[in-house]
Amino acid sequence: MTGIGQRLRQERNRLKLSQSALGAIGGVETNAQGNYESGARSPKADYLLRITQAGVDIYYVLTGVRQTQMDGITPATHIDDNAHVEHLDKVTQQLHRNLHGLIDALYQITLLVELRASDTQDTAVKQELDTIRAEAQELAQASVRLIFVTSKLS
């Protein structure tokens, strides 16, 4: 087992939480938590946001890099108030750039999926493509909301 699931399990163990405890924090059942950790399912953004608030290093879970290893960025817990504001501005700007890129990629994938769906007669393929399109649209909407909310931080 490698990837997000393994790192999620490592973070849960680091925080000394059971699967049911972290699942409850994230708003999911114990079996869903187990599925995330085994890699059988991928966690959704709202779950990831909730567990971040409980102390999970979400950057590590998603990328495999601990925040303390990030070049040029000091974790917010180790800096004074002025530096904290500067750090928040820098991270917010980086987040906005990344989200804009994500939104553009999601738009492109939606267009391509719609083209592919119109070219196939296979109902199973169409259903899977509809799921991909719907999830891409949901992620794009969530990204726009996140940009809006975080723009108020500066």
Structure tokens at 66: 């601990």
Looking at the fold, whether 56 and 117 belong to one and the same domain comes out as no
Count of structural domains within the chain: 2
The domain of 124 spans 76-151
Q: What is the CA 122 to chain-centroid distance, rounded? A: 31
* Mean pLDDT score across all residues of the chain: 82
Rg (CA), the chain: 18
Q: Which of 52, 69, 86 is the last residue of a domain?
A: 69
Looking at the fold, whether 59 and 86 belong to one and the same domain comes out as no
Asked if the model's pLDDT at residue 77 lies above 50, the reply is: no
Looking at the fold, whether 96 and 135 belong to one and the same domain comes out as yes
Asked if the model's pLDDT at residue 74 lies above 50, the reply is: no
What phi-psi label fits residue 39: left (phi over 0), alpha (psi between -120 and 50 degrees) or beta?
left
pTM, to two decimals: 0.47
Asked if the model's pLDDT at residue 37 lies above 90, the reply is: yes
